[in-house]
Structure formats: structure tokens, C-alpha cells
Amino acid sequence: MIGAKNEPFSNFNAKLRFRTKSSKQYDILPKHVKDSAFKFENNSKGIRSTPAGPHHFLLCIVISVAFYTVLAILEKSLPEPVTLSNEHNHPDRFVAERARNHLVKLTSMGPRPVGSKENEILAVQLLLDEIKIIIEQADPSHKVEWDLQRVSGAFSLQFLDGMTNVYRNVQNIIVKIGPIKASRHSLLINCHFDSVVDSPGASDDGASCAIMLELLRVISRLKIPLKNNIIFLFNGAEENMMQASHGFITQHKWASSIRAFINMEACGAGGKEILFQVGPNHPWLLEAYSDTVPYPLASSMAQEIFQSGIIPGDTDYRIFRDFGRVSGLDFAWSANGYVYHTKLDTVDKIPLGTFQRTGDNMLPLILKLVNSVQISDVEKYSTGNLVFFDFLGIFIVHWSEVLSDIINISVIIISLLVILYNASHTRVTGFSVKDYFKSCFKCSSLTVLIWLATLFTIAVLSLTVVMLDRRLSWFAQPAWLLFLYITPTILVPMVLLVLFGRKFLWGKKGTHYPQSLMYCISRDGNQLLYIMILLLCVLLRIRSGFAVALFVTCNTISILLHNTILNNDYGYKVLWLHWGCMLVPFMLSAYMIQAALLLVVPIMGRSGSGNHAESVMSLITSAMFTLVFSFYNPLVLLLQKVYTVFSSLAVVLLVSFLVLVFTPLGFPYSGDPNNLAPQRFMIAHVERSFYGYNGSLRDHQNGLWIVNLDVNSPQSIVRHVPELINARQISQDECNNELYCGLPYFIPVITFIWKTHWIDTKPLDVEIPLSLNLTYRDHRLHNVQRLSFSAIGPDHITFMLSLYDGIKLKDWSLSDGEPLKGPLWNGRPTYFVYYSCANDIIPWDFWIDIEVPKTHVGPQIEIGLSGHRMHGPNQYTPELKKLFNQLPQWTTTTGWASAYKSYTL
């Protein structure tokens, strides 16, 4: 309420709006008071404009949600597929139906884990038969050759907890098509036809192989010869931690000709393939993608997130990059990740339009790359990386890192100049440029504190949800994220800004400044914070800074238009002006957030029960939307009856909690074929044997080992499986006393999947042959001993090694180079080795060299050996079958029989 110079508003609402006075009352105020008052004035008519009503802000929120919903719907749009019946109307086009027919044949044989008949014989024969038909019908202008590679090798892999990967007789099918006159340069296209245990592997990655067959057919019939070679690699052991691709790129006769590659993968069934890794360096690869594909979807932000290790996954891209020293492009489908690596990954989950979209993108891209000048001289065009992103799937925006720095620095400078202009044109008496910037920095600090307070609030809300036993409601229905976590993410910052923002505008002692100034400084202080974040992106070479630069740029435009067109009017017009200016970055960020949630939400259902998925997901979601809505928060200072906005959002939040607690709408899983979101269970029937230092058996157990893949496991199914009442959680004492908790971990994931359960059962019905024999101990120079071993077991074996204090591992025959360490166990170094034999199983012979001090007495090493029966008629025991048959239809299972033996030597 204006009564005298700089008099503060008298109540809560007065902090948020200007109560209008008659023109006569306003006219008698001194000039310096009018200059410092909150100006809602229309200069042309001499009538003060009214501040924005709460419905304006709420309408902005509603429209924003509507935009987000539209983007989510558009995300599912796919091109019209070409079918066998109309392919004559589309010569030289990719035919989606033919590709799907290939996939139907491949998946009809069932799961294809490495070592199975389905993978090593049936799938290989199927692919070779199709390839031979294509070669017979190829145009004479092309030279087409094929090869079947059976390869053995080993390599270290810094993935998950770190491992050494050893393989024997894995298979690759390779087809090379090129000009009649031989070329020394090739483009590699890769897929894998093996699958994980129990999954038919339609999307991961049979569909990519089916698409490659159709691409090979179309290219082989083109009349114009290729300038260079295309090598189609159908690799047979990717799910075994990328073994077959390593065997190809390091040992095949054609590998040395490869100059670039395209890797086709999936972490979901269908949808749109995203380019999420490109390079390293070689910007011409991304430029070719940008110039040719009709349906782009790519982001350097996705690349930085994936390569940070946040997402627990990897692809053959790593192998070609690290071991082949080749640059390339990595594509993956990410929609419907609920069926990824499950029995539900079937052909019917992949829309025909997905085949068409991927084929229509890959065909011109392949032809562009293989016929390019760059592929014939890749070193000449190898320098530099690009910042890139697609705009709503319409076109690709990309620029070099140097240009990115120039753009970002220019944005920083211009934005700072605009803030300086605002500071120098402050109409409040006694408020200097220095005071303005000082208050802006204070508001930047306040914004950071508000962010932290918001995340703290969200953490408390997520813990409340956990205490109410309503975890993962958003797993089957991601809309719960909006009601539970996005709504308070909008509400909390606005409340805190209203309550504490004025204190950060404190001028001289006992003085307050008008609401208009409070809005300007809050807006500019927020802008200043993002300028600092953008500067940090420049200094740290973070290419994702393009998103920050876009927000800062549009916010600067909004400020300039406010200062010019609206002539500093602080009514509802500025609210809509600002919302309109920020629409482009909002749509882009909503588009990227939608893609991120599409990927991350299903991952939370298989990330392990020890990872507090509810809190993690709530904080991830809140953090993303906190950054987006930071640019809208200052607008709340322009509203009348702001408590209407607060109460509306608070009601949404409260009603959501009540619905979640008192209705079944928050049930986290779904077995509906049209909306699958199953709970996953990985259960192994295990025989455990523990041998002491003297070789005697010190313990022997049989049981079902339940690997808890989410926070509701296994308590969610207790009423369906009465046997689970007797399940006990593997204790910390067991993990302290036994290497890898004395359990047959298939891959090294104990740091994030450590919470598991055990049910005692009778012994396995069919014994798993598993033994480790110390065949020779050789004492060498410098206190070094060589221990030679022979391991006998099934075609999948894991070997864990830990050294007692004072013992050092000097070398081994398992891989070249220094042995790769895993996580410490009881303060001792551990090593995890994964071994598979795809054909012709023979004993696995290897040696290790250890350095033993002369004063050492007693045990030197501890070994855990696991054998996994992952296919064939004896994969499931009667106990496993019984348990699986009891599970409800909203679950999906993976299981096999394992043996574990522990040795102390």
C-alpha cells in the first residue's frame, strides 16, 4: 500500500500486488514516491493497468502441461510403413514388412543365449540362408562376399564393477558388399542376434539384424555401384559383454579396412531410434546424419549423460571405439523399456512403423557415408566434436565446439550488458548500479537455496511415500510424477520466493523498495545465476550447455521486449510476453525431459532394491523441472491473490496423496498387454559349496536365490508365493565372510545389487559339473609363484579372485596387460572374470602369478567359482518352475540353475 516514500506493504497480499487508488490520490503523491512505486501504468491512456490475476499464471501452467502432453503424443508418431503388397509403388525403398518377417523367423526359435543350439546353430543357419538368397539376387555392379568367423579372445572391461572378459568360439556372420574394383575403405554396420536368457530378443537386438538384412537387400539391388565397401556384421555374442564384436574388430581379416561404423541397438521395444553417441571427433559423421535422415532424433546431451555412467548399460560402440580405434554412430530404440531383456520382448511389441522409420533413416545415411570423400581419408577430417540436438524431431541443429564457445560467450556478454542496462535505469531514488548488482547476486544465492530447499522437500515427500508403502506408483503410470513431485517442484520455489524474496532487496537500514524492483531483481538475479552456469559449461567443455544458452538467450529477449514494447509495464501483459518468449526453450526442454523419462522410468524397475528408486526418481524429476521453471518463478511477484495459485497447487498435491494412499490407482505394476509394466524377478536355483584351507567341505547349501531388482521385491508377491515367508535376506555377515557374499553373481554388480534373498530347498535335480583344480604350483624368482588351474563347468562360468593381505597379483594368462581390479572386499583387492564357451566345451586352463612375502604363512588367495546352466532342458529345476507358475500376470521372470564353489588356497 503506497502512503509515503518507500513504505512497505502492510500484509501478505500487499507483498504480491498493488492495491489500486483513485487517480486523484495518486496524483497528489510526490514525484519521487511515484517514481519508486510499483508501476502498473499505461502511459498512452494515463490509466494504470491492473496486475495479473492468478488465473493467468494457472492458465500458463495448464497450457504448459498441454504442450507437454502433445509432445508425448507426437513422440509416438511413426511413418506409414511400406508393405509387400505395395512395394512395387516404392522402388528402391526399405520394406518394413519384409524386415519384420525376418524377425518373426528369428524369434520363433525362442531365446538365443550364447552357447545354446538356437544361437549357435539355428540362428546362424537362418541368417546365412537369407544372406545367400540376397547375394544370388544382387545387381552385377556389386561384389558381395560373406564369411563365418569363430573366434576366441579376452579383454578387460571397465563396466559396472569392472571385469575381465574371456571368450571361446563365439561366432560372427560378416557380409561385405562393395564395388567390383576393390576398395581399401569400409563402413561397418553392426547388430547382434544373440539374446539374454529367457528373452526372444525381438527388439534387443533381433530387429536390428532383420533391418540390416533388408538394408543389404535394397543396397545390393541398386544399379549404381558403391564407391567403397559396406561390411554388415551380425555378431553372435553381445549379451556376453560384447565378446563377438571384440573378436571381429581385433582379429577379422576385414577389420583393418573399417573407417567408420554404425551400431544398431535397443534398450526398449519400438519407438524412435535415437542417435545417442557419435564420434569421438570426426564431425563429418554427424553432418552426414543431419544432411540425410528424414526423421532425426539426436542429442549431445544424451551422449554426455550416457557416457557419464549414470545409465547402467553399454553397447558394441565401446568396443569399436576403444579396441578398433574407429569413430561411429550409436543408435538405440528406447520406447517401452518395460519389456527390455524379458520374455515379453516379442515381435508384436514393435510397431511396423518403427521398422520403416529406422530403415528410412539408415538407408540414406549408409549411402551418404560409404560414398563420401571423408571415408577415403578419415584422418584429414578427424578433428573436432560437434554440439548437436534435434528440434522436436524436425531438423538437426549442430555447430562446432569452437562456434559453441563463441555463441555461449556472446550470450553471456549480451545478457550481462542487458542486466547492466537495467541496473543503470533503475527509477528508485538512492538505488545505485552497485546496489542493483549486489541485490542480484543475493537473489542468485537465494535461488540456489530455494533449489536446495525444493530438493529437500521432494526428498521428504518421497520418504513419506516410502513410509506409506506406496513406492513406484509412477512405474506403471508416469503421470504420478506430475502429481507427486512436479507439482511441489512448482509450488515450493514460488512460496519461498514470496516469503523471503523481499529480504534480499533490503536497501538502507529500515528501507524497502517497490514490488516492481523486486520482480526485476529476482528476474535478473536468476538470469545472473544461469550466466554463471553457462560460463561453467564453457570452462568445463560441457556440450550440454546449449540448453542453458537457449534459456538465457530467450530470457534476455523477454527482458528487452519488456523494456521496449511494454515500456516496463508490470501487468498481466509481461506474464504472457515472458511465457511466449520462453516457449521455445520450454518445448525443447520438455521434449528432452520426455525422452529422458521414457528411458529412465523403466530402468528404475531393474536397478536393484538397494538403490532407493523412489527417492532417486523423485529427485531426478524435480531437478529437471526445477531448472526449467526457475525462469517462471519471478512472475509470481506480479500476481494478485497469489494465495489462489498456492492453494490450487496445494490442493492438487493433497488430493494426489489421498488418492495414492486410499485407492489402488497407485499400484506400481501392470500386466495389461496395452500398458505393460511388469515387476521383474531374477531367481536362480543354486547349490553352494564352501571348502576350507585344508580342502575339506566346511559348508553346503541348496536354495533359491532371489535377486531383488526393485524396492518392492520380494514382499510384493508373498501372498502369491507362500514359500517366500521363509525367505531371508542375505546378511552383511555373509557378505563379509564370503567373497561376493558366496553367491553366483553372473556379472559384477554387487555394488548396486547387493540386497538379495535366499530360500532353502532340496538339492538340484540335475547336478552341474563344476570344479577347479590346482594343476601346478611353480616357485619363480623374486618370491613369485605361478598357480596353474583347470576349471570344468558349463558354457558360462564366472571366476572371482581375492588376495590375502600382503599378496600381490603380478600377472595372469586370462588377458593381456595389467589385471583389472574390481571393488575392494574386506579391504582386499578383488578380480572378476567372466568366461563363456559358445562351442566345443573343453576345460578352461589358465594361470596366475602372485608375489608372496617370505614371511607369509597361511592362505594366500580366495576363489569363488560359479557355473551357470542358462539354456537347454535342464535350465529350470522343478522348484523354479513351481515358483514361476505361482506368480501373478503382472510379473515377468528370468531364471536358471547355478552352482557356486568357494576355495581357499
Q: Which three cell numbers stand for residue 616?
A: 532417486
Instruction: For residue 8, say if its preceding peptide bond is cis, omega within 30 degrees of 0.
Output: no
Classify 42 as helix, strand or coil. Answer: strand
Cβ 453 vs Cβ 440: under 8 Å:
no
β-strand pairing of 784-792 with 756-760 = unpaired
Q: Which three cell numbers stand for residue 208?
A: 536390428
Is the alpha carbon torsion for 135, 136, 142, 146 positive or negative? Answer: positive
Q: Using alpha carbons, list the distances in angstroms from residue 25 to 2, 22, 40, 46.
A: 10, 5, 15, 14
Instruction: For residue 205, say if its preceding peptide bond is cis, omega within 30 degrees of 0.
Output: yes
Nearest CA among 772, 850, 848 for reference residue 804: 850
Quote the crossing angle between the two packed helices 96-107 and 123-136, to the nearest 10°: 150
Cβ contacts of 82 within 8 Å, gap of 6 or more = 90, 93, 94, 95, 96, 97, 356
Q: Using alpha carbons, list the distances in angstroms from residue 718 to 24, 123, 753.
A: 76, 39, 21
- Per this entry, what is the length of the chain? 905
Distance CA 270, CA 676 (A): 14
CA 569 to chain centre: 44
Cβ contacts of 299 within 8 Å, gap of 6 or more = 274, 275, 276, 388, 389, 390, 592, 595
* DSSP character at residue 498: H
DSSP string, 338-354: GGTTSTT--GGGS-HHH
Distance CA 123, CA 109 (A): 8
β-strand pairing of 891-904 with 679-691 = parallel
Report the first-to-last Cα separation within the chain, whole angstroms. Answer: 84
Q: Show which residues are catalytic.
A: 238
β-strand pairing of 258-266 with 186-192 = parallel
HSE-CB at 666 with a 13 A cutoff on CA atoms is: 21
Q: Which string of b and e fits 688-720 if b means at least 16 CB within 10 Å?
A: bbbbeeeeeeeeeebbbbbbbbbbbbbebbeee
Cβ 849 vs Cβ 777: under 8 Å:
no
Cβ 871 vs Cβ 115: under 8 Å:
yes
Quote the strand ranges of 282-392, DSSP E: 327-333, 386-391
Q: Which residues face 186 on adjacent strands?
A: 229, 258
β-strand pairing of 229-235 with 861-869 = unpaired
Distance CA 355, CA 81 (A): 8
DSSP string, 48-78: PPPPBPHHHHHHHHHHHHHHHHHHHHHTT--
Task: Compute and round to an integer the Cα radius of gyration of the chain.
Answer: 32
Classify 590 as helix, strand or coil. Answer: helix
359 phi, psi to nearest 5 deg = -65, -45
β-strand pairing of 861-869 with 891-904 = antiparallel
